[in-house]
Chain A
């Protein structure tokens, strides 16, 4: 990928970057990273044809290209709009975008049950993150939220249609990873629902990846259901020699003590499945649902969660070491101690019996 021609200049939020032709605005923004990147709820770079539906990634195009610098009249979905040379995009710097995006967040949450306290996705939910980052507090919706009939779609996956935001990602997984899709969107409008055609169970080796791509808690792991909160479990990278064709065998185990509570594919900072040699690292159902013993896995180490979310907060960040100067000023010599503190500190005065000191000790107690 490194020898790709990057000859398209695009400016996003006043930061200019060179990208390859055919790159979308969203992917260009991801190359810059940080707040410049619009959120994406339905777009999934590893799933062909995804995106354009949730409208959270709307950005303003202030200049279409160097050749035609007219602004685009409407906000565009950055995940499906390719960059042109000299394009100027406004995301966080736009006046229209935050308002439109807050509107989209409100629409997405309109019929969402907000049952985060009992939802297995809480803590790693993209809709939670989106709400916190781009939403407004409170809703203006005063009507009953839409509900659906419960449907059993098989032994491994739990479907909560009320939480679904209809991103279509799971249908793309079924289309692109498995040879037969048995589920899809039925009905239309606000009563559209993910369903199998006349209550069929979803059974194939890669159906579990639907859980990984689901941005909300609509599809969750039945083997992990109500077992633990994701922020209590410790993620570790592990691999095994999986014999299922197409399975990369590289996974994240979510442990509590020695117990494997859950197995997922490894995810990157955008919450997407990581790629290995340019191929997405999907895992099979055997790895995900059936291999829940630490002995079956070769643990590589603690997973670094670079995604900005509750699961990534306050833990597993790489420790930031202070700049080590001693070695530098001592010309490479790095003594463990710079002085003999035993001879200097009164605390180590052997004449004082610690048991003689009553109450909390003060420095004065040692100066006897």
Chain B
């Protein structure tokens, strides 16, 4: 049984409320942190090796140390709770059931960064969670954890919740800041980075919900202790939101030493594939990371066991690997059609493209139309190469990573499942009624029977 740091108390009755949360040891990290120097907290986070849990996996401590600290200008901490990636729902769980852990993490982080007003930018569709968070903030304020002179330390801090209006693009940090300022959610052109010029032109740190929550155990136990959990540069625990064709979809907190195979098949986690089906493919880190066929999912191209951590999942680059991403673990069994699945993702990215830069604005729609044609059996063989060419023209040429996120799933689907695309082109009648199935990239391992 893996150690749980974030979800340890998730099932305690009434943990959503301050009294229970405090009784279970909540807000200890704030008490400890307020006695420390802000720079020491940053140092502690650096030591912990915590990496951003939003998707990119950038070391949090390093991000914090980049924050410019000019005199006379306020600094801001913004929590990115605009969790909208298909397959990712870990922050929702955290905020819905243990809202105080996020508030606690934000108080510590704000103190470390010197932010006197911090913001939680929450996805617009999470309206009921907004109420939960606001209720929790009120409780925290009543008990002296927010507001003026927190716990007699002289540190003032206000925490605000701002709802988005339903745009995936506002999860991109600079688009989020634009939206928070009340403008159209278009990503800004970088540089300058938010650490220099962010919210209202002031230095800003934008962190994911899970990242900020992870600051709590880091301060409680110390950065060195936290770094002992996990393996290599993947330290600590990670929330994985597992969904798709698995027996037990849900949120799992893992330490990053377990293998993908164990994660999918053990009863502690996903509990295997329903109805005795075989696994066909998996997206290990949210919809924008490359899809992996079963044979590359459980073992790397080198033949090693693939583990659930940043390094192992990206082993082999995009040719034979994928990414940890945000931890949205989507499993596809043998009955799923990769073309249909890719079309569905392309449709999502076309719909969510902000329309600011041309490759993403025009390219995402074009890919969607071609994929729909192939899916409907109206595709041509040349369309597959065309798709490949379009994604290569989008990737890396856009303002923000949404272009890459739209290109990667298409690229990976063609890279690993080209025969399925060709089968759709060659069998226009069949592809509407039948499924390509597994064929040669079939599940190479046994299905546990017990």
Contacts and interface: CB of A to CB of B under 8 A. Distances in A.
Contact of B359 (A103, A111, A141, A166): A103
A143 B357 CA distance: 21
A111 B362 contact: yes
A189 interface: yes
A103 B397 contact: yes
Contact of B355 (A74, A80, A141, A185): A185
A99 to B, nearest CB: 8
B411 interface: no
A52 interface: yes
A107 interface: yes
B355 A188 contact: yes
Contact of A55 (B167, B350, B351, B357): B357
A166 B361 contact: yes
A108 B356 contact: no
Interface string A86-119: 0000000000000010011011101100000000
A32 interface: no
B93 interface: no
A190 interface: yes
B393 A100 contact: yes
Interface residues of A, number: 34
A111 B361 CA distance: 10
A263 B364 CA distance: 39
Given A100-B393, A192-B361, A52 B351 contact: no
| Chain A contact surface mostly | loop
B352 A189 contact: yes
B189 interface: yes
Interface in B235-285: none
B427 interface: no
B362 A77 contact: no
Q: Is the interface of B mostly helix, strand, loop or mixed?
A: helix
Interface in A147-183: 165-166, 168
Interface in A48-62: 51-55, 58
Given A53-B399, A107-B362, A141-B366, A190 B189 contact: no
A55 B398 contact: yes
Q: Which of A58, A77, A166, A190 has the most CB of B within 10 A?
A: A190
B350 A166 contact: no
A140 interface: yes
A187 interface: yes
B320 to A, nearest CB: 21
Interface residues of B, number: 28
B189 A189 contact: no
B372 to A, nearest CB: 10
Contact of A53 (B169, B357, B393): B357
B358 A165 contact: yes
Nearest to B353: A189
| Most chain B CB inside 10 Å of its own CB: which residue of A73, A80, A103, A146 | A103
B189 A108 contact: no
Interface in B388-412: 389, 393, 396-399
For B167, B358, B386, the residue with the greatest tally of chain A CB atoms inside 10 Å of its CB is B358
A100 B350 contact: no
Nearest to A165: B358
Contacts of B350: 189-190
A143 B369 contact: yes
Interface string B371-397: 000000000000000100100010011
A166 B355 contact: yes
Contact of B189 (A51, A58, A73, A192): A51
Contacts of B361: 107, 166, 189-190, 192
Interface string A75-88: 10100100000000
A168 to B, nearest CB: 8
B113 interface: no
Interface string A268-310: 0000000000000000000000000000000000000000000
5 contacts: A53-B399, A75-B397, A107-B363, A110-B366, A192-B354
Given A58-B397, A107-B366, A189-B350, 17 more contacts: A51-B189, A52-B399, A53-B357, A55-B358, A55-B359, A73-B396, A103-B393, A104-B358, A107-B358, A108-B358, A108-B362, A188-B169, A188-B352, A188-B355, A189-B355, A190-B362, A192-B355
Interface of B: 167, 169, 184, 189, 350-359, 361-366, 369, 386, 389, 393, 396-399
Interface of A: 51-55, 58, 73-75, 77, 80, 100, 103-104, 106-108, 110-111, 140-141, 143, 146, 165-166, 168, 184-185, 187-192
